[in-house]
Amino acid sequence: MLVDINLLPQKEKKSLQSQVLIIILFILFVGATSWIGIDYYLTSSELAQKETALEQEKKLVEVQQQQLQGQNKNQTTIVPLMEKIDYVRAKDIEAVALLQHIVALLPERGYFLKYEYKDRSTISIEARFDTLEETSHYLYELTNSKYLTQASIESMETTNFEELAAGEDMTQFEGFLPRYHAQYKLKFNHELIKELKGEDQ
């Protein structure tokens, strides 16, 4: 009978379990590497988009700031302008009230030829009347007005001599010729005119 004796060391057979474990580890490594690469790519793209959006927002903010600065400049120029307009309107209202008052003092056939502010408290008036009595009566009314501080006649002259000398028919104006042209100087107080404006309202 023959005996088979093998003195060489026998190779251990690799188990199936170790092969499966190696394959699983390899798959996990490849999967993790792929996931990290994809995540890095997506994160980089998102970061680039956010940086672009941030730059656009910065530009929008700069544009809005420039517009606000322009509006502020316009407002700084508009505010003094509005103050001046309000001041002029207030003065116009006072002038209207004063003009209405001195017109009301005119006689029936008296009327203004010229009305002019000389300074902040002085007015020059040129008026025409039919008789000398009306000229002096108007001065009397102006002098006694509580809204005027002073009234005087600066000059006076007669008119219509040219028509009479030319032989024009002026019979319809008998009793009213010659006409009298007078220039008055009036002084007033702004506070008194404000009271006058209140009465008119």
pLDDT per residue as tens digits for the range 140-159: 999 998 888 899 999 888 86
In this prediction, residues 151-177 reach a mean pLDDT of 64
The conformation of residue 1, written as its DSSP 8-state character, comes to: -
pTM confidence score: 0.48
**92-200 belongs to which homologous superfamily?**
General secretion pathway protein M, EpsM (3.30.1360.100)
**Higher pLDDT pick, 27 / 75:** 27
Rounded-to-integer distance, Cα 67 and Cα 179, Å: 65
Q: What number of CA atoms fall less than 13 Å from residue 70's CA on the CB side?
A: 6
Rounded-to-integer distance, Cα 156 and Cα 42, Å: 100
**Higher pLDDT pick, 192 / 177:** 192
pLDDT for 140:
92
pLDDT for 139:
92
The conformation of residue 152, written as its DSSP 8-state character, comes to: E
Please tell me whether residue 199 adopts helix, strand or coil conformation: helix
- Quote the percentage of the chain above a pLDDT of 90: 11
pLDDT for 3:
62
Indicate if the pLDDT at residue 118 is higher than 50.
Answer: yes
Indicate if the pLDDT at residue 184 is higher than 90.
Answer: yes
* Lowest mean pLDDT, pick from 12-16, 56-60, 182-186: 12-16
From the CA atom positions of the chain, what is the Rg in Å? 53
Residue appearing with tokens 């001065």: 139
- The answer to whether residues 124 and 154 touch, using CB atoms and an 8 Å cutoff, is yes
Please tell me whether residue 45 adopts helix, strand or coil conformation: helix
Question: Mean pLDDT of all residues in the chain?
Answer: 77
**Higher pLDDT pick, 96 / 198:** 96
Indicate if the pLDDT at residue 9 is higher than 80.
Answer: no
| pLDDT bucket at 8, cuts 50 / 70 / 90 | low
Across 61-70, 120-129, 186-195, the highest mean pLDDT is recorded for 120-129
Indicate if the pLDDT at residue 41 is higher than 70.
Answer: yes
pLDDT for 138:
92
Rounded-to-integer distance, Cα 179 and Cα 107, Å: 14
Strand order in the sheet with 122-129: 111-119, 122-129, 179-188, 148-159
pLDDT for 201:
42
Rounded-to-integer distance, Cα 24 and Cα 30, Å: 10
In this prediction, residues 160-164 reach a mean pLDDT of 54
**How is 74-133 classified by DSSP, letter by letter?**
HHHHHHHHHHHHHHHHHHHHHHHHHHHHHHHTS-TT-EEEEEEEEETTEEEEEEEESSHH
112 bridge partner residues: 127
Q: ω into residue 178 within 30 of 0, thus cis?
A: yes
Please tell me whether residue 43 adopts helix, strand or coil conformation: helix
| Domain boundaries along the sequence of the chain | 92-200
Please tell me whether residue 72 adopts helix, strand or coil conformation: helix
